[in-house]
Chains A and B, each alone.
Chain A
Amino acid sequence: MKRHRYLWPIAAAVLLSTACDSPLDTNPTDAIDSDDALNTPRGIELGLNGAYRGLQTSDLYGKVHMVYPDLYADNLEFTGTFQTDREVALRNISTSNVQIRDTWFALYDGINRTNNLLDAIPGVSGLSPEEAEQATAESLFLRSLYYSILVMYHGGVPLITEPSRGVDESSQVPRASEGEVWNRVITDLEAASASLAYEFNPVRATAGAADALLARVYLETGEYALARDKATAVIESGIYQLNDDYESNWTTKRTRETIFTLPYSINTTNSLAFWFFPDALGGRRGFAPTQEFFDAHEDGDARRDFNIGINGGDLFGKKYFRIVNEDDDVVVLRLAEMYLIRAEANARLNADAQTVRDDIDIVRNRAGLPDLPATVDTQQELLDAVLNERRFEFAFEGHRFFDLRRFGVATTVLGITPERLLFPIPQAEMDVNPALEQNPGY
């Protein structure tokens, strides 16, 4: 029976096939299960870093939010190849514009990051009350920043304050009103401001950052006295001071003028310089300063030649210039804005003209320009001066279109219908959420 000696182990080899699950259990090497992510102090720390990081994507401060408010207005023109950018430059954005959708998503992605933190923080044992308060305040600041960008582009948006765990009918949230979103932002920022300390730490949320953002929000919502007071609080905090020259804000990182900045490095890069610089200098020049913008500068304005370069006869933006390492920091809030916010708020409150001019002159002098003449003294003239100053001071910093709109001149300056004062809700979002209503005119 020699052959049976071989038969049975061979048969066993074939028949050993009983179900065993263990070889089918594999785990990812670059992710962890959601339930295990935020239940330790370390997890909260990592999650907070992630919530800051959300701002840095090219869909937000890494490119789009620094460019579109100028491209949709009169500072930049389209010189690239992407239809998405072209529609923005033509001020005729289709509801299917993929970049508008991507930016919308990036904002809600950031909001979900903060909502996860706000939900998890109370349950994390090992987090001291102080640590919990700090983490909560930073999360609230970030969520407010995300929402403030959303509401600036789109008007009222769905107000989501709980983390997403799954998708069902309740995920189809209708739009809150613009006022409701602003109220939430103001409540949260005031809470954050109360919890946070006034300290110089421009890459994290601080009381200065919360107040500076509040000043901006109050100005946008017409609470001019509050805007003035918040700007003053930041100016008088003693934490920040204007740089001696304009360009130091970008040639040097984390200057004393910086209230909140997004740090980029060789490890976390942005493509701002790449998109502004021409081919010959290693970029793509997807958009470029308009000749009109270049010409509008007063003689001697140091900001013109820092912000705008000329290559082969073509203008190009060069505020973000680290084309090799692509690590230009993106300044979100800086002290000069507080002076101009206060000037604008005072002008709108019909304050003394010299008070208004003083704040504007601080910014002008730093740019190498003389004081405004005393003849600029009616409310309209003062407001015009603020708007003008903001145009040059904040070129390619994500303000121009919103400024024109706030001053009520966007339709005339840009030749658009009132319906084009808001961007559309992305069609992709309308498709999955029937509870949403599109902005009029789209």
Chain B
Amino acid sequence: MSRIRWLGAIVVALVALPALAVGQERGSVTGQVVAGDTQQPLQGVDVSIPQLGIGTMTDERGRFLLNNVPFGEHEIQFNYIGYSQATQTITVGAQMAPLMITLQVDALRLDELVVIGYGQERRRNVAGATASMAQTQVEELPITSVNQALQGRLTGVQVVQNSGTPGAAITVRVRGASSISGGNEPLYVIDGVPMNQGDFSGLTTSFGGQGIDAISDLNPSEIERIDILKDASAAAIYGSRASNGVVLITTKRGTVDRPEVAFSGYYGWQSPWRMVDFLNTEQYMEVYNDGLTNRFGDPADFGLDNWYGFEGEGVFDVEVPRGVDTDWLDEVTRTAPISNFEASVRGGTEAVRYFVAGSMLKQEGIVQPMGYERLNGRLNLDYSPFDRLELGTNISLARSITDRARSDNNIYSPWANAIANAPIFPVFNEDGSYFTETTYLNPVGMAREAEAEERGTRIIGNAFAQYQLTDWLSVRGSLGLDNLSMRSRGFDSPAFGPWAAQGGQAQAGHTYANKVTYEGTLSFNRSFGDMHEVSGVVGSSYEDNTEEWSWVQGTQFPTEYFKYITSAATIADGSSTRDENALLSFFGRLSYTYADKITTTFNIRRDGSSRFGSANRFGTFPSASILYRIGEEDFMQNQNVIHDLALRASYGVTGNQQALGNFAARGLFGGGANYDDLPGISPQQLANPELKWEKTAQLNLGTDFSLLNRRVGITFDYYRKKTEDLLIARPVPLTTGFEDIWSNVGSMENEGVELAANLLLVQSSDARGFNWTATINLSHNRNEVTALYNDQPINSGFVSRVEVGKPLGFFFAHKTAGLFQSEDEICRTLPGETTGARNARCAAAGLAYQTEGTAPGDIRFVDLNGDGVINDDDRTDIGSPWPDLEGGITNTIAFMGFDVSAFVQFSLGNEVYNAMRIYTDQYGSFEDNHTTRALDRWTPENTNTNEPRAVWGDPNNNTRDSDRFVEDGSFVRLKNLVVGYTLPTSLAGRLGARTARIYVQGQNLLTGTDYSGFDPEVNYSGQTSITRGTDFYTLPQPRTITIGFNLGF
């Protein structure tokens, strides 16, 4: 331990080093970089003289300044994402003319610097499968989270916004899911520091499936670029945490220039993009009367006009005022504003460079009282006290406030209750109080009276020192910190709602999560002659995680104005815990390039984790890759069709330990088994000292090439991931007194292809001329579970199931075959008949017994095993939540300062289980409001339909889980459309600005789908992979229109 802490001490010592003065004759290099396609200045171009190890970036006007350059001849390089590298030999002397550099676009972006684990590499030399995007691609979109920025943009990266809940977690899958027990999110590393991920809420209230995620604390616009490591070759250097891919986030850094100040902002309006139609009062009454008549007989036989009616009108009269027709969804939704304002300053000198940014985001949810607010501040500082030493720090501060409401599968959710409650109830009584005789809690009351607030404070930062030992060898030490503190508060009123009888309740929670990372690396890069280049890194890291959680709950409040526990008459409950885990790692990479044609790379990491069982403390994760730039061969120069053809292959092993609890390997007795207010203990967990990480072996074959004079760049990858030793809490006989034991059993495969195309369709050399570019990405992934413990299937959620030979979380339930039209088709029990005899008789007649109450108009379920009875054994595969094909297409057109960018996202071939319909489509039963499908229900007059009859109590259980509720979830969505105008420089100058731009943006403007629910992009239980694609009262995404501006000074 102490030796590890040394590393931190040395870093501190490095920071304290006195600057060294080096005497030599020196001059400066200045110039400007413009884009070959637009002739516009390029900001953020990496300008460097590699021999000297110095560099800078261009400013907003594309200008750069390199000071302190020794006199003499040097090679200066210019690198910018999406453009070919430019190299120029310059002679530095006392007087030098400014350089004018034009960077030419390259559709394959071969000379882009790609961030890889513990280093950077030119894309030209990257043999692994990675995907990158610059923040500029999403700069003006009203996205609040990094994960939204990734959506639909990159091949092999599937992003599903689980719901429209502001601040809620988003599901990210890199090349499918490789784990069953959760933990399918990629590893996030920001400026080299692994981040705390997940839900740190301190409340015990269930919010339905929509959790929060610590990733949301990052402000997307502080990000320079995002690189995603997809295959084992790229990711293996992150070892036991890399199986789900690695998201490397690089934030913006300072430049060598005078300060450039930027302001930007947008304001917009969000509203539901679609509403599902529900019954009005008249229709509702009609369906329920039909349901009661079908159950109890004609009301006339009992001397009644109606079964169901307003007070005095029926037997089941409801005490509600007449003439009410409440549109509950309208009552709880609203047009919600979203706004974001930011300011940043970027600049510096040769010795000190800085980037300072601050921003303020505020979003309200389309359902009251949801909302999300975030303040972000960042300081990225680089300091070179002398030639070979670089010191730096990145500090990010974030403050987030999330106003939450119960959602999805929570019975007190405003949204769910607005769907469920009948239109016959008024919102308020005549005296203005909430009407409380609703079937489900009055959603308007829940929206207004229940409070839940998460206030997070986040510090993510690191300090590093890098020293160039020789011209080919450098050493770097860094100390990283991710500290998260979350204050949570919940309040349910004593005057209304689920806690009214308890006199109201309040909760106060606090979560503290602290991650400290110590890291040391030694990097080398050396050429031997013209043909051989060797580079790589070796290093070690130690990561220490602590989480503490405390919580208290009070009940019985004087009135609804007293909301904190200090006023509670009863302290009802309280708890606090602390948890720790640690990771000790050694890693290395060796890369060899021959003649700029063949590159081979080897990665290895050895991870030791406190979570692993004593028998498996350390795991080793190797990978190897080869890249053959066949396009560089002489024989490829004789044609002019395919350029830059490269072939890639890689293979390696990565791990996943997210699903592993901190002490899952130990046999434990837990506390809390208290009796009669005396402490007690009880058996909690069976020991498994063999427990370890999940292991994924991945093969990747890829090719890159460009066509049409490098104006079309194509990247194609095929991969096959085999995951073994899946962590499963495998069921044990319950008679042991345990439900399961954590074990490494089971395996899974993902296989897929990815195609990315970058098309530079029309390019003008005139800055304000016509330009048209497009990018297309397509991904197909096939997932199959190949082994489970004793091949026992696992059921989860409504119909989700894990079974060998099937994709993870496929839908498993009954099949339907239309409706019964006559009594002859129905099988009933004869008096005195045993179950077995009845079933045999039914089977012989080609029928199947369902229930005694089955009648014409009920659904006929399919007796798959032909045993004459419908039961659990007749369930089968009825669909899959995984798409066959998904991707995105972006078109950007610019002309005369105007530009239009349209981003279409699509997902094809996936199914959604619309579980809300279990309740909304139970016609004439249990008082839930119905979708207007109920109007097409079976009646003796309307027999040509698939909608069953209305009947009180649903004796046939027509709403049992079946393919009735499986719907095609495919969609094509105009995710974003931006129309902008960049003012001519002269006009901007009159405003005192160097650049000025205004734009209008629309999100989720159009969606094409056959899905009948609110939104096909849905996961009712959040990020879990097993229960994907189920819709259960899930809040849809909003349609958002924003207007915004960008100003540079």
- A1 interface hit (Cβ, 8 Å): no
- A431 interface hit (Cβ, 8 Å): yes
CA distance A203 to B388 in the complex (A): 76
CA distance A284 to B440 in the complex (A): 10
CA distance A24 to B736 in the complex (A): 31
Please state if A266 and B570 are interface contacts (CB–CB under 8 Å): yes
Please state if A108 and B736 are interface contacts (CB–CB under 8 Å): yes
Please state if B10 and A173 are interface contacts (CB–CB under 8 Å): no
- B555 interface hit (Cβ, 8 Å): yes
Of the listed stretches B72-80, B215-223, B534-542, B558-566, name the one at the interface; the rest are far from the partner chain.
B534-542
Which partner residue on chain B sits nearest A265 by CB separation? B677
Which A residues are in CB contact (< 8 Å) with B319?
A: 312
Please state if B582 and A26 are interface contacts (CB–CB under 8 Å): yes
Which A residues are in CB contact (< 8 Å) with B675?
A: 49-50, 52-53, 56, 203, 263, 268
Please state if B736 and A52 are interface contacts (CB–CB under 8 Å): no
Which partner residue on chain A sits nearest B873 by CB separation? A95
CA distance A268 to B675 in the complex (A): 8
Please state if A10 and B477 are interface contacts (CB–CB under 8 Å): yes
- B671 interface hit (Cβ, 8 Å): yes
Please state if A26 and B666 are interface contacts (CB–CB under 8 Å): no
CB within 8 Å of B: which of A162-188? 163-167, 171-173
Which B residues are in CB contact (< 8 Å) with A3?
A: 388, 469
- B1049 interface hit (Cβ, 8 Å): no
Please state if B736 and A26 are interface contacts (CB–CB under 8 Å): no
Residue in contact with B674 in the complex, picked from A6, A49, A116, CB distance below 8 Å: A49
Please state if A268 and B467 are interface contacts (CB–CB under 8 Å): no
Which A residues are in CB contact (< 8 Å) with B736?
A: 108, 112, 160, 164, 167, 171
Which partner residue on chain B sits nearest A112 by CB separation? B737
CA distance A160 to B539 in the complex (A): 53
CA distance A30 to B835 in the complex (A): 50
Which B residues are in CB contact (< 8 Å) with A279?
A: 436, 440-441
Please state if A112 and B683 are interface contacts (CB–CB under 8 Å): yes
Which B residues are in CB contact (< 8 Å) with A38?
A: 669
Min CB–CB distance B946 → chain A (angstroms)? 23
> Chain B CB within 10 Å — which of A30, A32, A48, A96 has the most?
A30
Please state if B467 and A92 are interface contacts (CB–CB under 8 Å): no
- A236 interface hit (Cβ, 8 Å): no
Which A residues are in CB contact (< 8 Å) with B741?
A: 167
Which A residues are in CB contact (< 8 Å) with B1013?
A: none
Please state if B17 and A280 are interface contacts (CB–CB under 8 Å): no
Please state if A11 and B668 are interface contacts (CB–CB under 8 Å): no
Please state if B501 and A16 are interface contacts (CB–CB under 8 Å): no
- A69 interface hit (Cβ, 8 Å): no
Please state if B679 and A46 are interface contacts (CB–CB under 8 Å): yes
Residue in contact with A49 in the complex, picked from B1, B581, B680, B792, CB distance below 8 Å: B680
CA distance A417 to B324 in the complex (A): 47
- B347 interface hit (Cβ, 8 Å): no
Residue in contact with A325 in the complex, picked from B7, B570, B682, CB distance below 8 Å: B570
Given contacts A13-B475, A108-B737, contact A19 B668 (CB under 8 A): no
- B844 interface hit (Cβ, 8 Å): no
CB within 8 Å of A: which of B567-598? 570, 572-573, 577-584, 586
- A251 interface hit (Cβ, 8 Å): no
Min CB–CB distance A68 → chain B (angstroms)? 18
CB within 8 Å of A: which of B266-291? none
Please state if B6 and A13 are interface contacts (CB–CB under 8 Å): yes
Which B residues are in CB contact (< 8 Å) with A263?
A: 675-677
- A374 interface hit (Cβ, 8 Å): no
Min CB–CB distance A8 → chain B (angstroms)? 10
Which A residues are in CB contact (< 8 Å) with B735?
A: 108, 111, 157-158, 160, 171, 173, 429, 433
Please state if A34 and B667 are interface contacts (CB–CB under 8 Å): yes
Please state if B1 and A324 are interface contacts (CB–CB under 8 Å): no
Please state if A13 and B731 are interface contacts (CB–CB under 8 Å): no
Which B residues are in CB contact (< 8 Å) with A111?
A: 735, 737
Residue in contact with B673 in the complex, picked from A54, A427, A429, CB distance below 8 Å: A54
Please state if B667 and A33 are interface contacts (CB–CB under 8 Å): yes
Please state if B436 and A47 are interface contacts (CB–CB under 8 Å): no
Min CB–CB distance A87 → chain B (angstroms)? 9
Residue in contact with B586 in the complex, picked from A6, A17, A26, A432, CB distance below 8 Å: A17
CA distance A219 to B670 in the complex (A): 38
Which A residues are in CB contact (< 8 Å) with B790?
A: 432
Which A residues are in CB contact (< 8 Å) with B475?
A: 10-11, 13-14
CA distance A373 to B818 in the complex (A): 59
Please state if B682 and A166 are interface contacts (CB–CB under 8 Å): no
- B544 interface hit (Cβ, 8 Å): yes
Please state if B503 and A14 are interface contacts (CB–CB under 8 Å): no
Given contacts A113-B682, A282-B499, contact A432 B555 (CB under 8 A): no
Min CB–CB distance A32 → chain B (angstroms)? 6
Which partner residue on chain B sits nearest A9 by CB separation? B10
Given contacts A10-B477, A429-B735, contact A417 B835 (CB under 8 A): yes
CB within 8 Å of A: which of B658-696? 662-663, 666-687
Residue in contact with B671 in the complex, picked from A25, A30, A419, CB distance below 8 Å: A30
Please state if A34 and B669 are interface contacts (CB–CB under 8 Å): yes
Which A residues are in CB contact (< 8 Å) with B556?
A: 324
Please state if B676 and A52 are interface contacts (CB–CB under 8 Å): yes
Please state if B687 and A23 are interface contacts (CB–CB under 8 Å): no
> Chain B CB within 10 Å — which of A20, A48, A427 has the most?
A20
Given contacts A7-B469, A35-B667, A283-B501, contact A17 B680 (CB under 8 A): no
- B965 interface hit (Cβ, 8 Å): no
Interface 1/0 per residue, B194-235 and A, CB below 8 Å:
000000000000000000000000000000000000000000
> Chain B CB within 10 Å — which of A15, A28, A46, A266 has the most?
A28
Residue in contact with A429 in the complex, picked from B666, B681, B734, CB distance below 8 Å: B734
CA distance A333 to B283 in the complex (A): 52
Min CB–CB distance A313 → chain B (angstroms)? 8
Please state if A23 and B737 are interface contacts (CB–CB under 8 Å): no
Interface 1/0 per residue, A265-300 and B, CB below 8 Å:
111100000000101111110000000000000000
CB within 8 Å of B: which of A323-352? 323-325
Please state if B679 and A49 are interface contacts (CB–CB under 8 Å): yes
Please state if A28 and B682 are interface contacts (CB–CB under 8 Å): no
Please state if B6 and A6 are interface contacts (CB–CB under 8 Å): no
> Chain B CB within 10 Å — which of A24, A25, A163, A263 has the most?
A24
- B428 interface hit (Cβ, 8 Å): no
CB within 8 Å of A: which of B586-630? 586, 608-610, 617-618
CA distance A165 to B733 in the complex (A): 13
Which A residues are in CB contact (< 8 Å) with B570?
A: 266, 324-325
- A94 interface hit (Cβ, 8 Å): yes
- B634 interface hit (Cβ, 8 Å): no
Which A residues are in CB contact (< 8 Å) with B20?
A: 2
Please state if B581 and A30 are interface contacts (CB–CB under 8 Å): no
CB within 8 Å of B: which of A241-281? 263, 265-268, 277, 279-281
- B13 interface hit (Cβ, 8 Å): yes
Which A residues are in CB contact (< 8 Å) with B610?
A: 23-26
CB within 8 Å of A: which of B422-461? 436-437, 440-441
Which partner residue on chain B sits nearest A441 by CB separation? B835
Which B residues are in CB contact (< 8 Å) with A194?
A: none
Which A residues are in CB contact (< 8 Å) with B678?
A: 49
Known A13-B477, A26-B610; 10 more pairs at CB < 8 Å: A13-B11, A24-B617, A28-B668, A31-B668, A49-B681, A50-B681, A53-B682, A108-B736, A324-B570, A429-B735
Chain A interfacial positions (CB closer than 8 Å to B): 2-3, 6-7, 9-35, 37-38, 43, 46-54, 56, 81, 92, 94-96, 101, 104-105, 108-113, 115-116, 157-158, 160, 163-167, 171-173, 203, 263, 265-268, 277, 279-284, 312, 323-325, 417, 419, 426-429, 431-433, 441
**13 A-B pairs with C-beta separation under 8 A:** A16-B3, A16-B520, A17-B540, A21-B617, A26-B663, A46-B680, A50-B673, A94-B872, A171-B735, A171-B736, A268-B677, A417-B835, A429-B733
